Chains A and B, each alone.
Chain A
Amino acid sequence: MEHSTIKETRMDRLFTIGNYVILSLFLITILYPLIYITSASISSSEAVISGRVWLWPVQPTLMGYEAVFKHKLIVSGFMNSIYFTVVGTLINVVMTILAAYPLSRKDFFGKNTFMFLFVFTMMFSGGLIPTYLLVKDLGMLNTTWSMVLPGALGVWNMIITRTYFQTTIPDELLEASQLDGCNDFQFVMKIVLPLSGPIIAVITLFYAVGHWNSFFNALIYLKSQKLFPLQLVLRDILVQNDVDMNMLVDVQEAAKREGLRELLKYSLIIVATLPLMIVYPFVQKYFVKGIMIGSLKG
């Protein structure tokens, strides 16, 4: 306190204490469920069902995780999710840049009309059934395509990308390149893309998280289990409580099975969330940046 240039009054000290109390409450409320689930996932199944786990792991074991990785659908779901996420995000990013760059150009004739066509789709949609029938008519039901094409472009991401182009790529750069005989294709490839690292990172993350976490499209478009993404498998297990017990080999007693079923769920929550949680601290600033650009509103 002595080091601060402005002397804190008694009121200010009270304020600071109150402030830390409030923040600690936020912190505990958010952290506790996360810690509890993590602890439960590595505790013994008896401890979990008898309610002896409340903060730290009790009788640590990795049985839950073993069960997760023995579950064939979970492994294939994991693989499918990675595939949909990579391919889907790649398509998303390319499409987004293709749309955002022309719309960022002042001399793009018809810009406002095109912009309206895109923005209108944010405000009005044909609805679930007409979209479903379209996907069906295109013959994409129960194919990988139905996972990556219907959401090939997010208009919101396109708008923030466009805003980024408008604010960071000066007109002078374009004029200078044009004088040097650079056409628009070359300008995008050689000037725009190298300058767009941050925004590409932002939209890649937004799209990738969206793909990884989505389940509804898979629910309505996919029929065969071998195509199911992880989230759909998770839904069956976590929400529908539909665990194929044959997959939990070697467990005979009913009580043990019940315990293992619970343990499996906790472990599964961790396994499904961990990839994002590991990556997220490193990319957090990009998310924040994305929100900032988004709030600029073109």
Chain B
Amino acid sequence: MEALKQTAGIDSKAAARVSSPSPLKKIRKVWRLYVLIALPLLYIIIFKYVPMYGAQIAFRDFVVTKGITGSEWAGFKYFIRFFHSYDFGRLMINTIVLSVYSLVAGFPFPIILALSLNYVKNEFFKKSVQMITYAPHFISVVVMVGIILELLDPRNGIVNTIIKGLGFEPISFMGTPELFKSIYVWSGIWQSVGFSCIIYLAALASIDPSLHEAAVVDGANKLQRMWHIDIPGIMPIAIIMLIMNTGHMLDVGFEKVLLMQNPLNLRTSEVIDTYVYKVGLASQAMNYSYSSAIGLFKSVINLILLLMVNKIAQKTKQASLW
């Protein structure tokens, strides 16, 4: 387009016409692109937007025989029922505490790992540490919970074997509600610390080496360089990560929580997502409408949080969601 404008001379009207033809023309010119995107578009309409339309089930008294759109309107009945329910407070607290705990406890470790790795001269050692610390990321959530249960098993688990060896009473980790959140969070850190540090390593690699050279000339030691160059260098990305993660405040690792739950720890382990699943699909008296209302409530809060967080991120002028 640019080249055309230049070679076609200075006629501004002609240039204007070239640069902005009618929409129809533009569409006709690239019609093949619409053919390409048709299938993915059909997919998101069917599998994403139809369920969004179906979310109106939350405002209706769903009856299987009448279908979603045929059932009677119920207004905000199910939302109000949820807000007034005994479980509401507990669910909100569990969900928020679990995600804030994960966020805060999980925040420093990838940064420490990345800063440390950045000062390793021996490439082989560095590569090995990376290889090993990334590995747990690929363990599936089912296997991860399996590992947790095995290691913490009250009778045969290694952790309790050590505790007994030291002369203490074995601890029923999974049966103690107070321990649930810590087990969830620290096993999550174990699994994700390596992979989360990748982004910080990239940020460290992009720091201008001349800064370090100048600091060395000025007689700064490594600790001072880390403190005054590396940490400020990765702070922007760290803060963006933190901000973005708060946007997912209500999205706890639902699958992992579900797998880690048992009747003994339910008091502290029940979160919104697992409750939605249980009310909707896993209970004896399934209640689609009630479950959907809770799910929709969560989705709406999530959306608001995400939009807010994205605004804040844009304000800090670093990055945005897209």
Contacts and interface: CB of A to CB of B under 8 A. Distances in A.
Interface of A is mostly: helix
A291 B48 contact: no
Interface stretch (A59-67, A126-134, A243-251): A126-134
Contacts of A185: 32, 35-36
B105 interface: no
B62 to A, nearest CB: 9
B193 A26 contact: yes
Interface string B134-169: 111011111101110111000110100100110000
A295 B141 CA distance: 24
A130 B145 contact: no
A235 interface: yes
Contact of B141 (A119, A121, A126, A215): A215
Interface residues of A, number: 99
Contacts of A107: 26, 29-30
Contacts of A197: none
A36 interface: yes
Interface in A239-298: 239, 262, 265-266, 268-269, 272-273, 276-277, 280-281, 284, 287-288, 291-292, 295, 297-298
Interface residues of B, number: 97
A54 B165 CA distance: 12
A184 B53 contact: no
B176 interface: no
A262 B158 CA distance: 12
Given A27-B133, A127-B296, A15 B223 contact: yes
Interface of A: 6, 9, 11-12, 15-16, 19-20, 22-23, 26-27, 29-31, 33-34, 36-37, 40, 48-49, 51, 53-54, 95-96, 98-99, 101-103, 105, 107-110, 114-115, 117-119, 121-134, 149-150, 152-153, 158-159, 175, 183-185, 188, 209, 212-216, 220, 231-232, 234-235, 238-239, 262, 265-266, 268-269, 272-273, 276-277, 280-281, 284, 287-288, 291-292, 295, 297-298
- Nearest 7 A-B pairs (CB), nearest first? A126-B51, A238-B146, A130-B54, A213-B140, A127-B295, A99-B40, A51-B161
